[in-house]
Amino acid sequence: MFDFIFMLTRNDQTVANAMEVYADIRDTELRYVGFKDIGLPTTRLRELASAMRADGREVFLEVVSERAEDEIRSVEASLEIGVDWLLGGTHPDEALSILDRVGPPGAPGRPRYCPFPGTVVGHPSVLQGTIAEIAASARELTRRDGVHGLDLLAYRWDGDVPSLVRSVVDASSGPVIAAGSVDSAERINALAASGAWAYTIGGAIFEARLPAGPSVREQVNCALELTRAASGKEVVVDGG
């Protein structure tokens, strides 16, 4: 199975009108929706997550804070907001200690945790390291009790991305989500062929980079269609 996660984000932060954007696409076939830990206060994010979950969707929060103390606050906020998945972050020991307060993996209220493998720097975040180093990080992380999968900044890395994704998938014991700079049918197809479980798109939808009309709704529906095609191993080519 290959899936699409729509992130209500641009430039690595949640858009100010996230609730209005969500209201416009809430009757689509979208299953997974998310946002970042930067851009809106926790109270607004909690309202957003509540609306998404009331519609039967799974909610993702991606942590992109650079400082350790900010990341820790974001992990704690994820429990208050009420998300199903916690993505990103580079301090797994601290994150797991917070999540363990809720209960063991799978306990009610505990999100599935998928940290960043490799060396992640800057904002917007970029991935550094060799394929071997990133795969080794992926292997070590997914051996930890409480790490469900990985949030891989595949197209925020300078190199042969399909080879990177395949190596990380092979090294990991959980699902691999490709995040960041997925902005074309070609990249979506490459991720599906490389074994990623899902991918996120935020800014590319708000900037209307997919081969569809300019509205967020049209872009989201296009991403869903491209995902279905990639899952079925059909060849999809970018168009105007």
Residue 220 neighbours by CB distance under 10 Å = 23
Residue, of 171 and 232, whose pLDDT is higher: 171
Each residue of 134-150: pLDDT tens digit?
999 999 999 999 999 99
pLDDT at 57: 98
- Given a cut of 90, whether residue 225 has pLDDT beyond it is yes
Q: Which two tokens stand for residue 9?
A: 């984000």
DSSP count for the chain of H helices, then E strands: 9, 12
Query: Could you give the domains of the chain?
Result: 3-231 (3.20.20.70)
DSSP code for 54 = H
**Gap between the Cα atoms of 183 and 205, Å rounded:** 8
pLDDT at 1: 83
Q: Can you say whether the dihedral through the CA atoms of 202, 207, 211, 217 is positive or negative?
A: positive
pLDDT at 180: 85
pLDDT at 64: 82
Q: Which two tokens stand for residue 13?
A: 């932060």
Each residue of 76-128: pLDDT tens digit?
999 999 999 999 999 999 999 999 999 999 999 999 999 999 999 887 789 99
- pTM reported for the whole predicted model: 0.93
Each residue of 32-90: pLDDT tens digit?
999 998 899 999 999 999 999 999 999 999 998 778 898 999 999 999 999 999 999 99
- Given a cut of 70, whether residue 237 has pLDDT beyond it is no
**Gap between the Cα atoms of 30 and 41, Å rounded:** 25
Each residue of 155-178: pLDDT tens digit?
999 999 999 999 999 999 999 999
Q: Is 67 helix (H, G, I), strand (E, B) or coil?
A: coil
Each residue of 165-214: pLDDT tens digit?
999 999 999 999 999 899 999 999 999 999 999 999 999 999 999 999 99
